[in-house]
Amino acid sequence: METAIRGRLSLSPNTVFSPKPGEKRSLCRGPCINRGILMAISTTGPSKGGGILEKPVIERTTPGRESEFDLRKSRKIAPPYRVMLHNDNYNKREYVVQVLMKVIPGMTLDNAVNIMQEAHYNGLAVVIICAQADAEEHCMQLRGNGLLSSIEPASGGC
């Protein structure tokens, strides 16, 4: 049988082929459904008759095997935004520190004090750099607690 198939299709052991619909040499009868699938046929034993055909190996491209470039291209990262704290003459320093620690996740006492002092002396301080949706939420929470806050695009990175 091996020689009959090999003779009819002119295949040698370990030949890789891709059948096309309507091709006379195709192993598919009727329309070939698996056009994009590569099949490898190999034989065991010597090349004289009596070899048994092994089960065809079907090779498919793995969907999770894109390059890093393709992943970055498909997963568009939202540009970062800065949450800004403005100085005001109404809120006490201790209250500003408490609000920063309550509203901003992971805010430590030392960072909150440094941000409050920077806003107090310079009139403005960066609270956090994050995605636009998060920046808008943090800004609204700061404002909801009586602090002056705004957001701006963080162009040029962090």
Q: Does the model's pTM come out above 0.75?
A: no
What are the structural domains of the chain?
81-153 (3.30.1390.10)
The model's pLDDT over 106-128, given as tens digits with 9 standing for 90+, comes to: 999 999 999 999 999 999 999 99
- Summarised one tens digit per residue, pLDDT across range 23-75 is 555 444 555 454 444 444 444 445 555 566 677 666 555 555 555 555 555 55
CA distances from 23 to 18, 27, 32, 41, 138 (A): 10, 9, 9, 18, 64
**pLDDT given for residue 4 in this prediction:** 46
R_g of the chain computed on alpha carbons:
33
Please name which of 147, 151, 138, 150 lies closest in space to residue 90, comparing C-alpha atoms: 147
Distance CA 97, CA 156 (A): 28
